[in-house]
Structure 1
Amino acid sequence: MTVYHGAMTGIGDAWMAFMDRVTADGHEFAGACREVYLSEPGVPEEDWDTQLIQPITPR
């Protein structure tokens, strides 16, 4: 799990960097990924916090 801070226009790049790190650390993906939106309504999009969650199998 990691937290992305910023507008949704950058979420794809954040996912790619997160996935690259997971595989570089020797882990394998183990299930569906998901996003959890942490910011309250009314917060400007550039200040949003989003959890990126990808289950893994430990190496």
Structure 2
Amino acid sequence: MEKKCLSCRKNYIISSTDLQYKKLIQNPHALYICTNCSRGMQKDAQTSTGLNPDMLDHHDKYLR
């Protein structure tokens, strides 16, 4: 399956190993954000808010 990243506008071939694959199969019109852009957005959000996901739920880090 080929999708275009909403952020960087590059085309990506999505394989079954991609974390968003199941979402995209269930809804072919769903938006896709590549891993690099996703990490960048997460890092920007953490920097601007000063929050880290591990600070919010101490048990979540063990489930990842």
Structure-1-length-normalised TM-score: 0.31
Choose between structure 1 and 2: higher strand proportion: 1
Structure-2-length-normalised TM-score: 0.29
Higher relative contact order, structure no. (Cα contacts within 8 Å, ≥ 6 residues apart)? 1
Largest Rg, 1 or 2: 2
Choose between structure 1 and 2: higher helix proportion: 2
